[in-house]
Amino acid sequence: MQYFPIFIDTTSLTCLIVGAGSVAARKLELVLKTEAQIIVVAEHIDSAVATLAQSSQVTIHQRKFKDSDLANIGMVFVCTADAVLNQHISVQAKQQNILVNVVDKTQLCQFITPSIIDRSPITIALSSGGAAPVLLRHLRQKLESIIPQGISKLGAFAQASRDTVKRALSSVTARRNFWEGIFEGDVAELVEKNQHDKAQALFDKTLAATVSGEKHVGEVYLVGAGPGDADLLTFRALRLMQKADVVIYDRLVSPQILELVRRDAEKLYVGKAKSLHTVPQNEINTLIVEKAKQGQRVVRLKGGDPFIFGRGGEEIASLVDAGIGFQVVPGITAANGASSYAGIPLTHRDHAQSVVFATGHLKDDTVDLNWSALAHANQTIVFYMGLTGLSIICQKLIAHGLSKDTHIALIENATMPEQRVVAGTLNNIESLAQNADIQPPALIIVGSVVSLHSSLNWYNSQKTKIEP
């Protein structure tokens, strides 16, 4: 390891920047994030440097560099185009034990600046020693995508609570185990969501329970898994899935998404197939409550979005009644996922100025909907769970004013590699669906926008069947 990574306390540091061009501006912007006092020396001052120098941390000397500028300096960045001057400053700084960085000249540097992910007080620095800057940038982008923005709040919370925990728990091991539970659990989620009072109350309760050996009640996360494609999960959904003790999931959660759940989590299937309810809803509600009361982190993983035909409202009502904390993580609903992957915009200025989501779920062999409100030519209708009632849906829409030639599409296994789209009209879609043997899960889209499918379809087009 050629470069030893360290973090320098900047509270009493004075940093010199020689040069005031665009490169110097980038260094100045970086150092301004610290508590250091900054001196800039240059004959010509770039406008970007002048703007940044309005900070009280910065003093500018518009003149040539002098050796005396290194007096009482702890760190220097050399950002000039004068190679002779750059080498001279490097030699002088090293002789005086001043940390020196000459931009783009690693052989003249005593230190190099890493790529930084700033979530102060949490700071992550990465370096390739100049060997692979593009790879370094690639790694930083990956880390940026998985480290929550709210981690800074969690770092500050931990800093403020550190002495309290140290007084309460004398064992290093006990403190480590306690903090691991905090960072992986509900307190961290509350802090990151700015619910500080709730976080503090739960933290105090958890610490007291740890000291006394009691077990606290867990929390439930109602998580939307999206339409099927694992790439469409939100970062928050993925993070909670990988922290869960128990995952209760339904039939519309794809195997690819289940693969992302924490390996040692308990996985409980409560799915519902067409005309077959594996577990009644009231039993699902009871199961969620029971697992949370055992002190476990419970993820209720639902296909699509929990609040759009997902019975999420019913489930959290039971949690409210039981006094159990919960959070809701939205997901990409099936309508958005299916329409996007089928190349069918739900709204379009030339076709539809409104969109309606409706359930096509049969009850007593009927689809009880406000058909007169649905049957409008300039409106898109999306039916969830409507495959069984397809015949009734087509009949009712025609009876209430839609033309039998109105475009309609069935989308099976939306967003997945096996996605199929069958498009036709209200008059012929039943026979097309039968010939194609369309099976649930399938979404129905009705309206003029479906006519755009043939030209806008970008995904899996070889499995599309269309009849004008």
* Catalytic residue selected from 229, 245, 250, 305: 250
Q: In sequence order, which residues have a C-beta less than 8 Å from that of residue 383 and are 6 or more positions away?
A: 358, 359, 360, 393, 443, 444, 445, 446
Conformational region of residue 288, where left means phi above 0, alpha means psi within -120 to 50, and beta covers everything else: alpha
458, HSE (Cβ side, Cα atoms, 13 Å)? 8
For residue 395, with 0-12 CB atoms within 10 Å meaning exposed, 13-18 middle and 19 or more buried, which class applies? middle
Question: What is the rounded CA–CA span in Å between residue 347 and residue 352?
Answer: 5
In three state form, how does the secondary structure of 405-435 look?
CCEEEEEECCCCCCCEEEEEECCCHHHHHHH
Quick one: the chain helix, strand, coil %, rounded to 5? 40, 20, 40
Apex CA 46: angle with CA 41 and CA 48, to 5°?
A: 110
Nearest one of 3, 334, 263 to 136, comparing CA atoms: 3
* Catalytic residue selected from 94, 267, 272, 274: 272
How many H helices and E strands in the chain? 17, 20
Question: What is the rounded CA–CA span in Å between residue 349 and residue 157?
Answer: 49
Q: Is 250 a catalytic residue?
A: yes
Q: Is 27 a catalytic residue?
A: no
> Could you give the residue numbers annotated as active site?
250, 272
